Structure 1
Amino acid sequence: MNLILEGIRNKNEQVFKTFFDSHYNGLVTYANGFLFDKEASEDLVQEVFIYIWENASKLNVVTSLKSYVYAMVRNRCFNYLKSIKVTDNYKLLEFSADLLAEHVVDTASEDDKKIVYHQILKIIDALPEKMQEIVRLKFIQNYTYLEIAEELGVSVNTVKTQLKRAKLKITEMIAVVLVLLDLKR
């Protein structure tokens, strides 16, 4: 049993505060990668923490509490976007949010994050055709490695290699974009 969750279930405020303090900023950054709205991201993350405090006894955490909370934030972001009529049929927001979290520091401005997000989309479009197809199958259609391999008639290792190369290319290009953004300041 997760000791942190057990502490929260027992209404141990110190355990909850420690968990909150250690994850709040990262979760806000993660949410902001979906919403591009710092205040809405902060509100959403605070709502998640309130929900955890109030419903700890009902939570069914199979993995880690941290993973569970990140999944809650992601799902609430998607619900929020749906409520304001933003759809993400291609699941590019999730893919881009992961890349943004990896490459854009907390101090980047909202405009810079939007620029990086749009650059990620352009970079994906510029990948070699097969690599682009694999990236889209994995991150847009949620195929497994095996399903992609079967669909394209290649090995699972080829799929993994192509995804690794795609991520590397995206990372290299994002690094260039970040340097350019830094130079404009």
Structure 2
Amino acid sequence: MNLILEEISKRNRKVFKNFFNKNYKDLVVYANGYLFDKDSSEDIVQETFIYIWENADKLKIKTSLKGYLYAMVRNRCLNFLKSIKVTDNFEFLEFNLNLITEHVFDSTSEEDKKIVYHQILKIVDALPDKMQQVVKLKFLHNYKYSEIADELGISVNTVKTQLKRAKSKITALVTSIIVLLQMC
């Protein structure tokens, strides 16, 4: 059994803390390569360390502990992507923007429509780099999910995840802009 794992199974907090501090940042970067979301990446890495702390005495590692740790993080990232169940059947951002234009723009002046449009462009420009690239390829260049994935060297699920997250951010900000415009 790995000495570090043996000490962790004995509840040696100092060894665990050193093991955590030595690997945490690199694992978050690694997870972020799958998820492109720092908060979710941090959560997954923390959950992985908690699992190791709680189950160290039961783990049977045939390779290195570090390799096992990276495999756990990778698998948890892939499971997370599956769990959000983003499907090809929905064009979330287009759907959302259509809803906004149908319900709000009908009663909005041309000047307000221009303001909202320019704010949407600013919101897209303020998105994290990878998310921004995905959104622009999808909605400015009409790329398919698979084409975006190939272009950026990421998985189709990551493309879907990024579009879903972008939709949430854009929806929240556009809704507040429209409310403000209607108040004026």
The TM-score with structure 1 as length reference comes to 0.50
- The structure that has the greater radius of gyration is 2
Bigger relative contact order (CA 8 A; separation at least 6): 2
